Chain A
Amino acid sequence: MQKTHTALFLTLFVFFLLPKVSSARNEIPEFFVSPPPFSEGIFPCSNYHKDMEANTNRRELSYHEDIKLKHFEGWCFDCHNPNDRDKLRLASGKVIPFTESYYLCGQCHGDIFRDWKAGVHGRRTGQWNGKKEYRLCVSCHWPHEPRFRPLEPLPPPVNPEDNKYKKVTPDQIPLNPLNNISDKLR
Chain B
Amino acid sequence: MPNDIKNKILQKPFSRRALLKGGALGLASLALPVGNADASIWEAFFQKHFKEMNDDEIQAVIKRMEKEYGEEYGLNFNIKNTKPLPGTLFGYGLDVSRCIGCRRCVYACVKENNQSMQPQIQWITVLRFKKGEKWVSSLEESEVYYAPPEVPEEGHFYMPVQCQQCENPPCVKVCPTQATWKERDGIIVIDYNWCIGCRYCMAACPYGARHFNWGKPNRAKQEYNAETHYLGNRPRYKGVVEKCTFCIQRTRENPGRYPACVEICPVGARKFGNLLDPDSEIRYCIENKRVFRLKEDLNTSPKFYYFFAT
Contact = CB atoms under 8 A, between A and B. Distances in A.
Do A and B interact? Answer: yes
A123 interface: yes
Contacts of B285: 120
A63 interface: no
A150 B153 CA distance: 9
A67 interface: no
A151 B107 contact: no
B107 A157 contact: no
A178 B145 contact: no
Contacts of B220: 170, 173, 175
B256 A130 contact: yes
B309 A128 contact: no
B20 interface: no
Interface string B252-272: 001111100011111110011
B264 A186 contact: yes
A93 interface: no
Nearest to A171: B220
B58 interface: no
Given A157-B120, A168-B218, A121 B309 contact: yes
B103 to A, nearest CB: 4
B100 A151 contact: yes
Contacts of B289: 120
Contacts of A120: 93, 95, 271, 281, 284-285, 288-289, 309
Interface in A41-79: none
A61 B289 CA distance: 43
Contacts of B267: 123, 140, 148
Contact of A178 (B107, B146, B150): B107
A153 B147 contact: yes
Contacts of A36: none
Contacts of A175: 117, 220, 223
Nearest to B100: A151
B117 A121 contact: no
B190 interface: no
B131 interface: no
Interface string B15-40: 00000000000000000000000000
B257 A153 contact: no
A168 B145 contact: no
Contacts of B268: 121-124, 140
Interface string A150-177: 1111111111000100101010111111
Contacts of B147: 153, 155-156
Contact of B150 (A119, A123, A151, A174): A151
Contacts of A126: 257-258
A185 interface: yes
Given A120-B281, A126-B258, A148 B100 contact: yes
Contact of B101 (A118, A153, A159, A178): A153
B302 interface: no
A129 interface: yes
B273 A128 contact: yes
A186 B104 contact: yes
Contacts of B101: 153
A168 B120 CA distance: 12
B150 A152 contact: yes
A125 B271 CA distance: 10
A174 B285 CA distance: 38
B152 interface: yes
Interface string B102-146: 111011101100000111101001000000000000000000111
Closest 9 CB pairs of A and B: A130-B255, A123-B268, A127-B255, A150-B150, A154-B103, A178-B107, A119-B281, A122-B268, A156-B145
Interface of B: 85, 93, 95, 100-104, 106-108, 110-111, 117-120, 122, 125, 144-152, 218-221, 223, 251, 254-258, 262-268, 271-274, 277, 280-281, 284-285, 288-289, 309
Given A120-B271, A127-B258, A129-B255, 6 more contacts: A120-B93, A126-B257, A128-B257, A129-B277, A157-B145, A159-B145
7 contacts: A120-B285, A127-B256, A140-B268, A153-B148, A154-B106, A156-B145, A173-B117
